[in-house]
Amino acid sequence: DTGVSQDPRHKITKRGQNVTFRCDPISEHNRLYWYRQTLGQGPEFLTYFQNEAQLEKSRLLSDRFSAERPKGSFSTLEIQRTEQGDSAMYLCASSPLGQGYGYTFGSGTRLTVV
Partner 1 sequence: QKEVEQNSGPLSVPEGAIASLNCTYSDRGSQSFFWYRQYSGKSPELIMSIYSNGDKEDGRFTAQLNKASQYVSLLIRDSQPSDSATYLCAVRPNNNDMRFGAGTRLTVKP
How many Cβ atoms are within 10 Å of 63's Cβ, its own excluded?
Answer: 7
What are all long-range contacts of 50-53, with beta carbons under 8 Å and residues at least 24 apart? 50/97
Q: How many binding residues for partner 1 (CB under 8 A)?
A: 23
Which residues within the stretch 6-65 sit at the binding site for partner 1 (CB under 8 A)? 33, 35, 40-45, 48, 55-56
The alpha carbon of residue 1 and the mean position of all alpha carbons in its chain are separated, in whole angstroms, by: 20
Instruction: Choose the binding region for partner 1 from 14-22, 64-72, 80-88, 100-108 (rule: CB under 8 A).
Output: 100-108
Instruction: Choose the binding region for partner 1 from 21-29, 60-68, 72-80, 94-102 (rule: CB under 8 A).
Output: 94-102
Asked whether position 70 contacts partner 1 by CB under 8 A, the answer is: no
Task: Please enumerate in sequence order all residues whose Cβ is within 8 A of that of 77, keeping only pairs 6 or more positions apart, or say none.
Answer: 20, 21, 23, 34, 46, 65, 66, 67, 90, 92
Please report how close the Cβ of residue 107 comes to partner 1 at its closest, in angstroms: 5
Residues in a beta bridge with 7: 22
CB of 70 or CB of 100, closer to partner 1: 100
Site residues, partner 1 (CB under 8 A): 33, 35, 40-45, 48, 55-56, 89, 91, 98-100, 102-108
